[in-house]
A and B are shown apart, each in its own frame.
Chain A
Amino acid sequence: MKKFSLVEFSVDHPKTVVILAILVTLLFLTQFPKVKTDTNPKNMLPPTSAIRMWNDEVEKTFNLYEDTLVLGIKNVKGVLNPGTLGKVGRITEAILKIKGVAGRDVTSFSTIDNVSAEAGMLKVGPLMATIPATTAELAALEETLFGNPLFVDRIISQDGKTTAVYVPLEKGANGKEIADAIRQIAKDEQGEEQFYVAGDPVARDTFGAEMFRLMAVFAPIAGMVMLLVRYLMFRDLFLSVTLMMDAMLSIIWSMGLLIALGFPVHIMSSMAPVFLMAIATDSMHIFNEFYFRFREKKDKRTAIIETMAAVRRPVQNTALATAAGFAVLMFMNIVPVQVFGGVVAFGTVMLRLLSFSFIPAMFTFVSEKKLEKIAHSEDMHSGATSVFLQKLAAIGVNHSRVTLGVGIVLALLAIVGISRITVNNNMVEWFKKGSEVRVADSVMNQALGGTSLGYLVAVADRDDAIKTPEAMNAIEGLQRHLETLPMVGKTFSVADYLKRINLVLHDNDPKFNVIPDNKETIGQYLFLFGMSAKPADLDNVVDYPFRRANIWVQLKTWDATAMESVIAAVTKYQDDKALPLTFKPAGTAYFNLVWNHEVLWDMVRGFIIALVVVFAILALDFRSIRWALIGYTPLLFTILLIYGTIGFAGKNFDMPISVLSCLSLGMAVDFAIHFIGRLRQRLQETRGEPSEGHLAAALFWTAARPGKGIVRNALLFAASFAVMILAPLTPYVTVGAFIVSMMLLSAVATIICLPALIIFFQGWLPKGE
């Protein structure tokens, strides 16, 4: 009875409780200035994870940069004119001067190495040392560009209308600052050209900025909408604010704790406030019941204490179920998933603590007169909502077979839909169509080889093995095979350089556009290339002992599945031919694939464990496995329907969707707990009444009274989360749409299906307690 005394204490010392709550809040608020964000998806996995260690090793071995920005320059009349080329030259010069840019490896017309032969003389040097002015010089440049497969699709588009400047960043450089500096440089060169800044760091930093904007703008807007809806429901500003404060306090406490513990705010934890706001709406049941009780008892203190006594079990158990649902995430592998689970679980427990202290305390501040006025409208017989709800419940009660039949058909359909779900994730598609990031990415992907970069590391069993014709042919063969895949835009490797040198040394005789047939020639060509080109040219594609080679694979889409197909194609190629090499994937595209899968399956695993835990809690709460099964049904039904719809709609099952599965579990179970809990209370309270129609009457009562709380809860939710559909980032839009549909669906499932199930299985369900 400890909880009970907390309520009484709060009612008797409301000021102490409120002041205490505010003090704790201020304490947590002091932590907020220390907030750090981390939008680098890399940190989804710890630095010691196998994939990150491998990627670091590959970066070091091949002297690669972690981050590269790409400036696309497009001129619909073609870029090969003195004006545009002059701009390319000047822009490159200016970019080289930006701090944090790895100047030695900036790639553009004016810096890229060109291997050519002129009058028997081998020349390795910048493609465009001076800006061509005459028609002859322009024609020569055009011929060089299109005659060298290393350039086409990399620094010149096939239609000659787009070129690119690749800007690698030094370690620790700020991608956004450099991107802004490049945009400024491009702005000063305005003309008939269009400029696009793309690349991983841009997307990441833009996402970070938007994430903050979302937390700072959309969460409060959602909060305001909630406040408004509450005001419309209860017609009392003070109480509406109280309800809000409940959520706000818990958000500040949880986020404060997160920051105080030194965790950065991640894309996942940035959603925690929104989730907590959603979970907080459960306190609606307290308000709902309070008004009914007040109307019956006319005494504030008694009404508060009786209300808390009546809703204690369901409120406590919904909180327990929700907290457990999120707490299981703390045992997953991905750190941000653990943190997210921990924060939401903590916030949920805090919310309930506030429900039994802060909320009753606040009730005491409202004048009885005012309460009377509001409570007057809360009449379950005449209230329009209650009447409507009773009608809804009547469908289930009177036509239980039909209702269940329809439910089963829908569930089967949903299962078909679920079987169609594709698991995929696309970081660029987290931005909306028409956003700068999306536009730049799609323009570049159309024109050039692809903005998403993966590597395939060819590994031989001994040093110098890469220099053999067998290894080179295997690499080349694999490249040509991969290039037949639709999502692969371009590949390049040491084999391409080798063929180029062979061709050029033999005065562009096409029969030498092949891999040389002996090891010595290959070794000498590569030596020649190594002593004439920029060090990075060779370092990027082959390691020092010539044991490993690196194939660059440019993908035209950020879909995680693209890299998956590449890997599948590699495996098949490797199995079909007995190759002297093995190929291991690496790079950003591969990393995205790995972490997506890890996060996703972590969430799915968490979801399944949560399902078991929630069932256990239901069974304990109801002290009956059978009641738990009944209560579980609307929950499963809602989840099936939503994922079925996702499957039919062709939307990918991605990271944000997988996160939501846990929320849906925690939320949807609430309604069932309230409904069944209160129904059984009612059945006991009215045990003396005639048994004829006793159950139906109790069901109608439940639908009208706690049911109203359920519907209010759902509406409140739906209204505030509808705001998120306007968010600029698609994961948040998904969250909004998902929650709106889930709330409405599970409310309906609870009010219609539960009565139908209970009527249908009444003989099977345990009678009484």
Chain B
Amino acid sequence: MRKIILLTLLLLAAVTTGVLAATPEEIVRKSQAVFLYSGNDFKARVMMKLISANGQERLREMTMLRLNTGPIGGDQKYFIYFFQPADVKDMTFMVHKYAARDDDRWLFMPAVNMVRRIAMQDKAASFVGSDFTYEDVSGRDLTDDTHELAREESVDGKACYVIKSTPKAGTGYAYKLAWIDKSTFLPLKEEYLDRDGAAIRAFSADEVKEIKGVATITRRTMKNLKSGHRTEVSYKSTDYNIGLDAGLFTERFLKQPPKKWIE
């Protein structure tokens, strides 16, 4: 009898918390909004360090511009200007991200004065040779996965939801666990796991700063646990709502990007 009462109480508790808390989908949507869609537009000087398993490093330095052209989870435009490595200075790269269809990508190579469209392969392909994928940079469609709240846990003293997102169609991993900060909704860490529950890739937010009132991850790491390769990214002079115009994100400006946006 005591057991039954206890069970009922537990069930009740579970139901009430479920009602009070946001649904897992809502948590993920909120997280995407602050993580990938903050502000109307965004600019940062990005230092990207590619580090091989045995410690060799490659440095990429670029300015990254982003403009949201659709709702949260919708279309976006990215413009990237490379400073480093030295032999690719002035190279530019542009992505038009569409929620509903394949992205458009262009690359400008100054040495041959040539703009080439680049066919999109997998969204899970590497972003400029790093351990981040295009998806990591611009997000996965919310409806591509089923989301559930696995548990709640704190990371470095910050209370987090642990969301388990299982892709509906085949990807390189079986499911993802994301530790989402309850106060900022930023993911503090993420793990991509295989069928056996072994982690393949791991993301960590190494530094979070408030910029123009927006909580922003200014240093992050993505590590490929299978190859031991990792990519460290840090943002400098991050800014939001600087008034980027859609006209900038065209082929014309690839060859001659306006100095005021890229410096």
A residues whose Cβ falls under 8 Å from a Cβ of B: 60-61, 63, 102, 104, 118, 120-126, 170, 464, 467, 505, 516, 518-525, 527-528, 530-532, 534-535, 538-539, 543-545
Partner of A528, one of B85, B107, B119: B107
Q: Determine how close the nearest CB of chain B comes to the CB of A245; give it in whole angstroms.
A: 53
Chain A minimum-CB-distance residue to B122: A125
New A-B pairs, 9, CB < 8 Å, besides A118-B119, A124-B121, A528-B109? A122-B107, A123-B118, A523-B86, A524-B91, A524-B109, A527-B88, A535-B229, A544-B52, A544-B56
Alpha-carbon gap, A114 to B50, bound state (A): 24
Instruction: Contact check, B111 vs A532: say whether CB atoms are below 8 A apart.
Output: no
Instruction: Contact check, A520 vs B111: say whether CB atoms are below 8 A apart.
Output: yes
Instruction: Contact check, A530 vs B112: say whether CB atoms are below 8 A apart.
Output: no
**Chain B residues with Cβ under 8 A from A539's Cβ?**
52
Alpha-carbon gap, A61 to B53, bound state (A): 9
Flag whether B135 is at the interface (Cβ < 8 A).
Answer: no
Partner of A531, one of B87, B129, B229: B129
Instruction: Contact check, A122 vs B121: say whether CB atoms are below 8 A apart.
Output: no
Alpha-carbon gap, A545 to B50, bound state (A): 12
Alpha-carbon gap, A61 to B54, bound state (A): 8
Q: Determine how close the nearest CB of chain A comes to the CB of B233; give it in whole angstroms.
A: 15
**Chain B residues with Cβ under 8 A from A60's Cβ?**
53-54
Q: How many residues on chain B are close to A (CB under 8 Å)?
A: 33
Flag whether B167 is at the interface (Cβ < 8 A).
Answer: no
Q: What sequence of 0s and 1s flags, for each residue 123-143 of chain B, a beta carbon within 8 Å of any chain A beta carbon?
A: 001111100000000000000
Instruction: Contact check, A518 vs B111: say whether CB atoms are below 8 A apart.
Output: yes
Chain B minimum-CB-distance residue to A504: B116
13 cross-chain CB contacts under 8 A: A63-B227, A122-B117, A123-B118, A123-B121, A125-B121, A525-B109, A531-B128, A531-B129, A535-B126, A535-B129, A535-B229, A544-B50, A544-B52
Instruction: Contact check, A530 vs B117: say whether CB atoms are below 8 A apart.
Output: no
**Chain A residues with Cβ under 8 A from B91's Cβ?**
524, 527
Instruction: Contact check, A125 vs B85: say whether CB atoms are below 8 A apart.
Output: no
Q: Determine how close the nearest CB of chain B comes to the CB of A678; give it in whole angstroms.
A: 66
**Chain B residues with Cβ under 8 A from A123's Cβ?**
118-119, 121
Instruction: Contact check, A523 vs B85: say whether CB atoms are below 8 A apart.
Output: yes
Flag whether B114 is at the interface (Cβ < 8 A).
Answer: yes
Instruction: Contact check, B227 vs A520: say whether CB atoms are below 8 A apart.
Output: no
Alpha-carbon gap, A691 to B10, bound state (A): 117
Chain B minimum-CB-distance residue to A528: B107
**Chain B residues with Cβ under 8 A from A538's Cβ?**
129
Instruction: Contact check, B126 vs A531: say whether CB atoms are below 8 A apart.
Output: yes
**Chain A residues with Cβ under 8 A from B54's Cβ?**
60-61
A-B contact count (CB 8 A): 93
B residues whose Cβ falls under 8 Å from a Cβ of A: 50, 52-54, 56-58, 85-88, 91, 93, 107, 109-112, 114, 116-119, 121-122, 125-129, 226-227, 229
Partner of A524, one of B111, B118, B226, B227: B111
**Chain A residues with Cβ under 8 A from B118's Cβ?**
121-124, 532
Instruction: Contact check, A63 vs B52: say whether CB atoms are below 8 A apart.
Output: yes
By Cβ-Cβ distance, the 10 closest A-B pairs, closest first, are: A523-B87, A544-B56, A520-B111, A123-B119, A125-B121, A521-B111, A60-B54, A530-B129, A531-B128, A121-B117
* Contact A125 B119, CB 8 Å, known A505-B114, A531-B129: yes
Instruction: Contact check, B129 vs A120: say whether CB atoms are below 8 A apart.
Output: no
Instruction: Contact check, A505 vs B116: say whether CB atoms are below 8 A apart.
Output: yes
Chain A minimum-CB-distance residue to B118: A122
Alpha-carbon gap, A522 to B109, bound state (A): 11
Instruction: Contact check, B116 vs A523: say whether CB atoms are below 8 A apart.
Output: no
**Chain B residues with Cβ under 8 A from A524's Cβ?**
87-88, 91, 109-112
Instruction: Contact check, A467 vs B87: say whether CB atoms are below 8 A apart.
Output: yes
With most chain A CB atoms within 10 A of its CB, the pick from B53, B86, B122, B227 is B227
**Chain A residues with Cβ under 8 A from B109's Cβ?**
521, 524-525, 528
Alpha-carbon gap, A474 to B86, bound state (A): 23
Alpha-carbon gap, A464 to B93, bound state (A): 23
**Chain A residues with Cβ under 8 A from B52's Cβ?**
63, 539, 544
Alpha-carbon gap, A746 to B227, bound state (A): 59
Alpha-carbon gap, A720 to B107, bound state (A): 74
Instruction: Contact check, A521 vs B85: say whether CB atoms are below 8 A apart.
Output: no
Q: Determine how close the nearest CB of chain A comes to the CB of B10; give it in whole angstroms.
A: 39
Chain B minimum-CB-distance residue to A519: B87
* Contact A520 B126, CB 8 Å, known A121-B116, A527-B85: no
* Contact A121 B119, CB 8 Å, known A63-B52, A505-B112, A523-B85: yes
Chain A minimum-CB-distance residue to B126: A535
With most chain B CB atoms within 10 A of its CB, the pick from A521, A534, A544 is A544
Q: Determine how close the nearest CB of chain B comes to the CB of A492; give it in whole angstroms.
A: 20
**Chain A residues with Cβ under 8 A from B107's Cβ?**
122, 528
Alpha-carbon gap, A464 to B57, bound state (A): 13
**Chain A residues with Cβ under 8 A from B126's Cβ?**
531, 534-535
**Chain A residues with Cβ under 8 A from B56's Cβ?**
61, 543-545
Q: Determine how close the nearest CB of chain B comes to the CB of A645; give it in whole angstroms.
A: 50
Q: Determine how close the nearest CB of chain A comes to the CB of B86; give it in whole angstroms.
A: 8
Alpha-carbon gap, A196 to B110, bound state (A): 47
Alpha-carbon gap, A527 to B118, bound state (A): 13
**Chain A residues with Cβ under 8 A from B129's Cβ?**
527, 530-531, 535, 538
Alpha-carbon gap, A540 to B52, bound state (A): 12
Instruction: Contact check, B111 vs A523: say whether CB atoms are below 8 A apart.
Output: yes
Alpha-carbon gap, A699 to B125, bound state (A): 87
